[in-house]
Structure 1
Amino acid sequence: MKERLALKPIPRWVIWAGLPAMVALAAVAVWVLLAFAPDSAQLDAIRTGGTLGVGLGGAVALWLAVRRQRSTELDLLQKHETHRLAEQVAADTREHQLRTAADAREDALARRVTEQYGKAVDQLGSERAPVRLGGLYALERLGQDHADSPLRQMIADVLCAYLRMPSEDTAEEAQVRRTAQKIIANHSRPANERHWPGLHLDFSGANLDQADFGQCRFDNILFTGTAFTGIANFAGTVFSVRAGFIGASFHGTADFENARFPAEADFRGADFAATAEFSSARFADAHFDMATFADAHFRDAKFRGRTSFDGSVFAEHAAFQQARFGGHTSFDHAKFRHDVSLHRSRFADSTSFADVSFQRYAGLRSIRFDGPVRFRKVRFGGDFDFGESEFAGAAELGHALVWLDREGAVLHNCPEGWTLGDPEDGWAPLTRTD
């Protein structure tokens, strides 16, 4: 802080020397005037000398008055500065006290939350199902009350870990686990005012029964190796980042109707033992390699990026009517053991059905291929229909075979420029007509 300048006291020698000097100066002035003035002007000279002396005294008095005023102002300024400093110290002291009190409250709150969290987690380890349910609801309340802390993610981690652990095959435990699923689902729906955004959820290896995640939004989630029993509802769900379902098994209906996958959808090795409903779903990159399907529905689905069903097995009906494929699409080595329909679907990029087995009806009617397409080494074990399909270039069906040794009506509607060749051991090759 810059120090203010204060007036120094007048040295004593100035007073003892200054007063005689002024008197002497006035006397000398009178003497000079008397010595050189005419006799008639001596009275004026004395008067002038007196006036000079009085003037000098007045000047000194004025200077002393100014100095006294300045000294008074400096004293007032000093007192004001002292008062201001005192107020600043008091304000700093109050701020420190308030900060200390706030820190104490935060510490007390943190200790209380930690105690409540620990107690709720301990309840999840109870042998009694009602106590475990109480622990779940206690954790949910803690997460709802502390939106600005990492507590919500910690609670989500605990719930996911609980669902990943082996469970007892009892009705009470099933109820507890469904409650944990419901808590996560409720807080993952943006339409819910109690939404907890940004959670990282890891259900890898978990067993989920009657999982209802419809209309949820998942920002970071894993279902690697997850087993779903009962209906698995993901209708209208948005997976804003990669959706990892590698090796997941669906023992009941898997409902992904109108689901959104703006990032990668990875279902490699997934097993759909019942209906797999993906109608009107929207995909970026989609990988269903080596997946197994019972009844598969992809009607009006849209695949914007690269799509792969390589090595997939479709045990029952496979419906792809009016599906749209925007990137490279591959069904290489896939097996369709029942009827498959691709009617009115569109392929905007290159498409490959190499070494695919169509064991029943292959509905390939009214398809439009805007890029190159390969049906090389395809096996048609039943009826097939390429009627009204459009090919941007020549269709490649080299080494494709058609099974002829069967009873009943037969529908073999070949693509333009191809026909059946001479059969051998019941199989007829597709050959070019030109």
Structure 2
Amino acid sequence: MSDATESGGEKARVRDRLWAQIAGAILLVLAVFAAAFYGFALIDTHPARWWPWSAKTHPELFELSRTAVPVAALVGGAAAIVVGIRRQRSTEKTVELTARTAQITADAYALDQKRAGREEIDRLRDRYTTIAAQLGDDAAPVRLAGVYAMAALADDWITLGNHREAQVCIDVLCAYIRTPRSTTTSEDAVADTRVRETITRVITQHLQAGAVTPWSGKAFDFTEARFTGSHSFYGARFNEGCRVSFRGAEFTEGCQVDFRDAQFNKGCWVTFLDAQFNKGCQVYFRGAQFNKGCWVTFLGAQFNEGCHVDFPDAEFNEGCHVDFTDAEFNKGCHVDFTDAEFNKGCRVDFSGAWFNQGWPTGPWGDGSPPLSGWPPSPH
């Protein structure tokens, strides 16, 4: 039997004892009244008469009643005091038992919640094991299902407030993109590209302003990934705490990577360090906003012949830092800043950049931008 059940039984016993005491007090008062009435009736009646009332008139009986009532009242008052004291003690004990019961109930609830939480964590970790196996399956449809399942698992971890486990799920998705997969047929290669495209699409859905479960403050590691196919980060919000690495990534012929209308906000860190933009790739930053406090670097990136990297209508706003230091703009590259807005207080740095007959197009004309950065410092 549980402590709560035992406590409830004790309260019932205390209540029953109290009612028994009240009933006993009433019976005592009635008995005292009867005894007093009988005794007073015998005082002036022959002792041998065991039924003295037969010798009494109605007025005499009334007077006997008036005499017996104070005695019974006195005894009843004393009994009431005793019962009151017992009742007070009973009430205090009941309050104590109620408090104890409430504490026991609260402890039991907390224990149930803790047990349920552990069971939920164990369940989610079991899901992780199953989903990770899906992502390694030979069949592309199974891997696609694993992508959506892993994203849902990350959402569930965030709902529970466990962001560390959610980050693990995101890391696994990014690791899939980073890891080359051996394919034996062109069909397998296409299927694998579709899985990779799905991963970036799912990530981007969680980076939107209205995302139900946002990932905008998480880390996304695409280091040395080889991008093929079409990958959209359209409208993504990279917010404070967000860390995105395309360090050493390769954007290959035929791939399209879309950052149109993306926002790089205060506290985010996005790196294309040593990334290679190769012939036939198309990377769009059209309308992207680089806002105060963001740090986006193309340090050492290579823009090679035949690549298209476009920044038209992009906004480089006050307090942003976009770094092209030591980047290489090689012959035949197409890097377009036409109609981009370089607003007061922004820092777009081309210091140390190599212009190997590859000239970005922008507000400075068709020649290379100022090496010390843009816009130029006011004199």
TM-score, length-scaled by structure 1: 0.57
Which structure shows the bigger proportion of residues in helix conformation?
Answer: 2
Q: In 2 relative to 1, CA 314–321 (structure 1 residues): closer, same or farther, beyond 3 Å?
A: farther
Measure the CA separation in 2 of the matches of 1:305 and 1:188.
24
Q: Where does residue 297 of structure 1 map in the other structure? A: 336
Q: Which moved more, 1:313-322 or 1:275-284?
A: 313-322
Q: Aligned equivalents of 2:215 and 2:312: distance in 1?
A: 28
Percent sequence identity is: 24
> Structure 2 vs 1, CA of residues 192 and 82 (structure 1 numbering), >3 Å: closer, same or farther?
closer
Of residues 193, 196, 199, the one that matches 1:180 is 199
* 2:263 alignment partner, one of 224, 235, 238: 238
Give the aligned partner of residue 226 of structure 1: 249
The Cα shift of 1:77 comes to 0.6
Q: Return 5+ residue gaps in structure 2 as ranges.
A: 1-71, 184-188
The offset of 1:158, in angstroms, is 0.9
**CA–CA distance in structure 1, aligned partners of residues 336 and 143 of structure 2:** 39
1:83 aligned onto 2:114:
no
Q: Which residue type is aligned with residue 116 of structure 1?
A: R
Larger Rg: 1
Matching of residues 23-422 of structure 1 within 5 Å = 70-148=81-159, 149-150=162-163, 151-169=165-183, 170-193=189-212, 195-209=214-228, 210-219=230-239, 220=242, 221-229=244-252, 230-240=255-265, 241-251=268-278, 252-262=281-291, 263-273=294-304, 274-283=307-316, 284-293=320-329, 294-299=333-338, 300-302=340-342, 304-309=345-350, 310-313=352-355, 315-316=357-358, 318-321=360-363, 330-331=370-371, 347-349=375-377, 370-371=378-379
Structure 1 match to 2:22? none
Superposition CA RMSD, Å: 2.9
* Contact 2:348 2:375 (C-alpha < 8 Å) held by counterparts: no
Structure 1 gap segments, 5+ residues each = 1-60, 324-328, 335-345, 350-369, 372-434
Superposition TM-score, scaled by structure 2 size: 0.65
Query: Secondary structure, in 3 states, of the residue corresponding to 2:287?
Result: coil
Structure 2: which amino acid aligns with 1:205? Answer: E
Preserved CA contact (<8 Å) 1:289 1:311: yes
Residue 33 of structure 2 corresponds to none
- How far apart are residue 131 of structure 1 and its match? 2.1
Partner deviation per Cα, 1:88-136 (whole Å, 9 max, x = no partner): 2222222222222222222222221111111001221222222222221
SS at match of 1:147: helix
Runs of 4+ in 1 over 4 A off after TM superposition: 61-70
Task: Report SS of the residue matched to 2:106.
Answer: helix
Q: Is the 8 A contact 2:205 2:211 kept in 1?
A: yes
- Distance, in Å, in 2 between the alignment partners of 1:285 and 1:242 is 10
Secondary structure of the residue aligned to 2:98 is helix
Shifted more, 268-277 versus 97-106: the winner is: 97-106
> Is the 1:296–1:314 Cα contact (8 Å) retained in structure 2?
no
Distance 1:158 1:174, change over 3 A: same
Query: How far apart are 1:191 and its partner, in Å?
Result: 3.7
Q: Distance in 2 between matches of 1:64 and 1:330?
A: 110
Question: Which amino acid in 2 is paired with 1:277?
Answer: D
Distance 1:276 1:289 in 2: 16
Amino acid at match of 2:245: L
CA distance in 2: counterparts of 1:258 and 1:319, whole angstroms: 16
Q: Is the contact made by 2:282 and 2:309 (CA closer than 8 Å) also made in structure 1?
A: yes
CA distance in 2, matches of 1:235, 1:315: 27
**Aligned-partner residue type, residue 341 of structure 2:** A
Work out the number of aligned pairs and report it.
275
CA 1:196/1:243 → structure 2, altered by over 3 Å: closer, same or farther? closer
CA contact (8 A) 2:269 2:296 kept: yes
